[in-house]
Structure 1
Amino acid sequence: VFIHGKKGIVKAVFGWPAIHTRIGNDKENQPKTENLWLDCGARNRKEVEDLGIHIGAVVTYQDGFDELANGNLVGRAFDNRIGGFMIAEVARLLKENKKTLPFGLYVVNAVQEEIGLRGAEMIARRIKPNIAIVTDVTHDTTTPMINKNIEGDVSTGKGPSLAYAPAVHNKLLGFVEQVAKDQQIPVQWRALSRSTGTDTDSFAYANDGCPSVLISIPLRYMHTTVEMLHKDDIENTIQLMYETLIQLTPKTNLSYL
């Protein structure tokens, strides 16, 4: 791992004793926050401080990015760095293709989604959007140990996932679905109860309510350092968001009446 200290990055490893050195009940211990430690090679407090390590220093995994067989990409924090990449690509396509939209467009990469959707909550209050198109990752349920009966049937390489959910506006969802059909973009479907667990929930219920839709990209091994995506899903998700923006107008009817 990398310890981000006051003098720069310090390399370290997680410490965990070999099984044949653990005695009694310790043999059954599982790694937890309270029993893990980092070994950076220092053997006393002064050596630690001399390296610039301090209480509260941020620790990140040492890892990289790689491409596996059949168009699969692997790396850390695709959730949700890939979302930031895709919305940036949508903005690039709009500019390069010289598209003029008949409405104002905010491209937002919101922070703190994992700890309470706080970035989305703040930006929704500030810009007061009329429509929100949200993108995030979703589980590839063909991953071992995931129950399709609970999580649904979604797989990498088969297109972005659309969802029915309380926070998802059905008319806007239908609009996106029609765009996908017209542009021959493959999509997959999920049904979510209560919350989506994404920034969609903040936008949908902000201010006086905001018609919102969630376009997710399937991901394997979420919240690990080896998250996995498929190239085709990235391209199709970008294309679906781009085409949706092109076809939206101020006259698009989202009324249920």
Structure 2
Amino acid sequence: GVDHQIAPGQRVIIHGKKGPVKAVFGWPAIHTRINTPEKEPAAKVENLFLDCGARNKKEIEDLGVKVGSVVTYRDGFDELAYDYYIGRAFDNRIGGFMIAEVARLLKEEKKKLPFGLYVVNAVQEEIGLRGAEMIARRIKPNVAIITDVTHDTNTPMINKMIEGDTSCGKGPSLSYGPAVHNKLLQFVEDVAEKAEIPVQLRTVSRSTGTDTDSFAYANDGCPSVLISIPLRYMHTTVEMLHRSDIENTIRLMYETVLTLTPKTNLSYFS
């Protein structure tokens, strides 16, 4: 997801038919913006525009840019003090990285699992969980372990009374909620305790806002659990993660997969 309010003044790449085209989200200088003394104009989808230097439609077309061309921010990865990383789209590229690391560890450690394991990086979560919906119908999983980002609520302008108390650097976050299977969640908590992996707990009153919601209610229902990694400044170009949280989230998923068996009892009635 992208917060439109951060767009003004950002450098971007337009991915045209003839290759990448550099551009910027323009924004008039404060001296010239049309406004009133009472209200400064805010960035909205309706007033955002891109400037790539072209002077007319033909020059735009000559660059290979057309309606529907994809645009990405140019900001990249960087490291900050005290083991923090920043970058764009950690939500949820970090999830793809972590599940790939779990798969790598399983292969390198030559682990033989007593069940089939699908490692899925689902698309279009932000616009309706579409990728998860499709893959859940196709593979019909018996258990689903989902990973995504969650908010670090210990930065300015966030109300912890509403959002809960979650911090970067204190381990992955486990969610309680309608889509989360309580016995599977307890199973993951037990794995974390045994492996001495720090975890944080949070609750959601309705949906999790993640692919968990698709897997949990797919087909005849699928026991699902959400393992989240705390993130600062979601949907900006400076999303921030802590190195230890990445490592511990990978470890928790890895140990959970190794501990699960076809005989793991997830029934509420036995």
Give me the TM-score of the superposition, normalised by structure 1. Answer: 0.97
Post-superposition offset of 1:28: 2.1
Post-superposition offset of 1:25: 3.2
Distance change >3 Å, CA 23–CA 109, structure 1 → 2: closer
Match of residue 191 from structure 1: 203
Which ranges in structure 2 are unaligned for 5 or more consecutive residues? 1-11
**Where do 1:1-257 residues align within 5 Å?**
1-25=12-36, 28-257=40-269
Distance change >3 Å, CA 65–CA 24, structure 1 → 2: closer
Post-superposition offset of 1:22: 2.6
Q: CA deviation digits over 1:122-171, x for unaligned, max 9?
A: 11111111100000000000121111001100000000000110000000
Post-superposition offset of 1:75: 0.2
Post-superposition offset of 1:51: 1.4
Partner SS state of residue 162, structure 1: strand
Partner SS state of residue 45, structure 2: coil
The answer on whether the counterparts of 2:35 and 2:41 sit within 8 Å (CA) in structure 1 is no
Partner SS state of residue 100, structure 1: coil
- Segment of structure 1 superposing worse, 25-34 or 224-233: 25-34
Post-superposition offset of 1:23: 4.2
Aligned residues: 257
- Segment of structure 1 superposing worse, 160-169 or 6-15: 6-15
Give me the TM-score of the superposition, normalised by structure 2. Answer: 0.93
The answer on whether the counterparts of 2:15 and 2:65 sit within 8 Å (CA) in structure 1 is yes
Corresponding letter in the other structure for 1:17: P
Question: CA separation in 2, counterparts of 1:217 and 1:174?
Answer: 18
Question: CA separation in 1, counterparts of 2:24 and 2:35?
Answer: 25
Corresponding letter in the other structure for 1:136: D
Corresponding letter in the other structure for 1:7: K
- Segment of structure 1 superposing worse, 49-58 or 155-164: 49-58
Partner SS state of residue 36, structure 2: helix
Question: RMSD in angstroms over aligned alpha carbons?
Answer: 1.1
Which ranges in structure 1 are unaligned for 5 or more consecutive residues? none
Q: CA deviation digits over 1:205-249, x for unaligned, max 9?
A: 111111000000000000111100000000000000000011111
Partner SS state of residue 216, structure 1: strand
Partner SS state of residue 2, structure 1: strand
Partner SS state of residue 136, structure 1: strand
Question: CA separation in 1, counterparts of 2:34 and 2:124?
Answer: 41
Corresponding letter in the other structure for 2:103: A
Distance change >3 Å, CA 23–CA 203, structure 1 → 2: closer
Q: CA deviation digits over 1:181-218, x for unaligned, max 9?
A: 00000000001011000010111111111100000000
Identity %: 81
